């Protein structure tokens, strides 16, 4: 698991907005997890500056606003050659 960033707030359409700490940003559709490897949502948009983009995540939880301020992670795929 690789740290993706932290949740800034919940948008008006109930999606979570993250400040990314990793480069390159995850692909659209990538699953997002908490520190205990529980799935939190799916990446639906990446926007903002290239060096530190913002990421929009569609949450899987009904009460996602309680996640604000927490760090989130993305699974790292290893290339097998």
Q: What is residue 81's predicted lDDT score, i.e. its pLDDT?
A: 56
Q: Is this structure's pTM higher than 0.85?
A: yes
Complete domains list, the chain, with CATH: 2-63 (2.40.10.230)
> Would you state the torsion angle of the CA atoms of residues 26, 23, 12, 62, taken in this order, to the nearest 10 degrees?
50
Dist CA 12 CA 50 (whole Å):
24
29-76 pLDDT tens trace: 999 999 999 999 999 999 998 888 999 999 998 888 888 999 999 987
Q: What is residue 31's predicted lDDT score, i.e. its pLDDT?
A: 95
**C-alpha 44, offset from chain centre:** 9
Report yes or no: 75 and 1 within 8 Å, Cβ to Cβ: yes
- The region that residue 64 occupies, defined by phi over 0 for left and psi between -120 and 50 for alpha, beta otherwise, is alpha
């Amino acid at each position: 698991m690789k740290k993706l960033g932290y949740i800034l707030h919940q948008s008006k359409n109930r999606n979570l907005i993250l400040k990314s700490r990793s480069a390159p940003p995850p692909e659209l559709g990538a699953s997002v997890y908490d520190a205990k490897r529980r799935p939190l949502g799916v990446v639906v948009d990446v926007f903002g500056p290239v060096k530190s983009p913002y990421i929009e995540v569609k949450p899987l939880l009904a009460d996602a606003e309680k996640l604000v301020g927490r760090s989130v992670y993305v699974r790292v795929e290893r290339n097998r050659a």
